[in-house]
Amino acid sequence: MAHPAASRLYHKDERQRRRAVRKLFEVNDPGNLGAFVGLLDDSETWYREKSMEAMTKWCGSENEKIILKLANSKYLSQRILATKLATRLNGNKNNILHDLCEDKEITVRISAWEEKLNVSDKEIGNLIKLGMKSEDKSIRKISMIRLSKMDHIENNDVVLSLDDAAFSVRNVGLEIIKNRPEINDNGEFTNYLIELASNQSSKGRNIAASILIERDSKNPEISKLIVQWSEEENIGFIRTLVKTLRKTEWWENNELAINITNNSSDAFVTRILRGVNSGRVTEIRNDILSGSTRGEDVKLRIIEDLIGRKIDQTTIDIIKQLDKGSSVFLSIASKELLEELS
């Protein structure tokens, strides 16, 4: 039986109505849910929102008619709420979600698909493939995100993503390959990744390059690509390249080590050498400071990056030479570094 306050929800006195709403929430009895249904169509936003709050709080499997009313509402927020509450139903859940997946508003369609895909791996069936057939890239994206969370992923499903016209969908496929190494155990995606990483105008290039480097940086083909990439000027790509290479012993790539001395881009050189003190890296740094064709700006950056770090004696000897050299700026920087070391 409804609480006496329920009869005052539609009182002419505004204060009485608001007190009734507060009282019913205070009582917290699901039996009062029906009294709120009429407020879903109220002219005032506050009452509609309070009614939706009541639905969220008390709707259960026995309230299919209320959820259907929400699903057919003219209000966007109520149809979105219907997608959430439909999952509480036993029998008609799928039918309601199916209709909401066809809603005129994309936000409702997305919400419906998210709930539709919110099932166990055993129940997922062909839902992901169906989602990937949607004309909405957002729905194709959330379908692939659901795929990424599955215990077992079929390579053919990843291919669906990589072939998609929308980068946001392709990017999920790339993230799956990156985060699930076993996906590419047989090298099925390697050629795709190489092609993508080699195209300077392609979105997703950065993640493709990072996957290749993390997985197979010692592969001769990938090693050569890394050398080529080190000569690029695009700062965003260089940041990704350096960040990923720092996870490897990149100095063991002899071609790259040689290339850094004279041919790699300034942006790459200053970033890749920063804070690394292996014997081979010290040699590369010394070659740049003492005999390379590198410009003064690069050498200056290298010296400045040495401040506060442990420095090999061979490098200190070169800094002493630069202190006495003809370049004013290099001399000043070298002097400051030597004074810090003394």
Structure tokens, 323: 């202190």
Q: For residue 52, what is the DSSP state?
A: H
Q: What pLDDT digit, counting tens, does each position of 228-286 carry?
A: 999 999 999 999 999 999 999 999 999 999 999 989 999 999 999 998 888 999 999 99
pLDDT for 1: 61
pLDDT for 79: 98
- In percent, the amount of the chain with pLDDT more than 70 equals 100
CB 35 within 8 A of CB 64: no
Q: What pLDDT digit, counting tens, does each position of 129-140 carry?
A: 999 999 999 999
Mean pLDDT, range 306-333, rounded to an integer:
88
- Single-letter code of the amino acid located at 296: E
Q: Is the pLDDT of residue 2 over 90?
A: no
Mean pLDDT, range 150-163, rounded to an integer:
91
CB 241 within 8 A of CB 259: no
- Single-letter code of the amino acid located at 331: S
Domain boundaries, the chain: 274-342
Buried b (16+ CB within 10 A) or exposed e, 145-156: bbbbeeeebeee
pLDDT for 150: 94
The pTM of the whole model exceeds 0.95: no
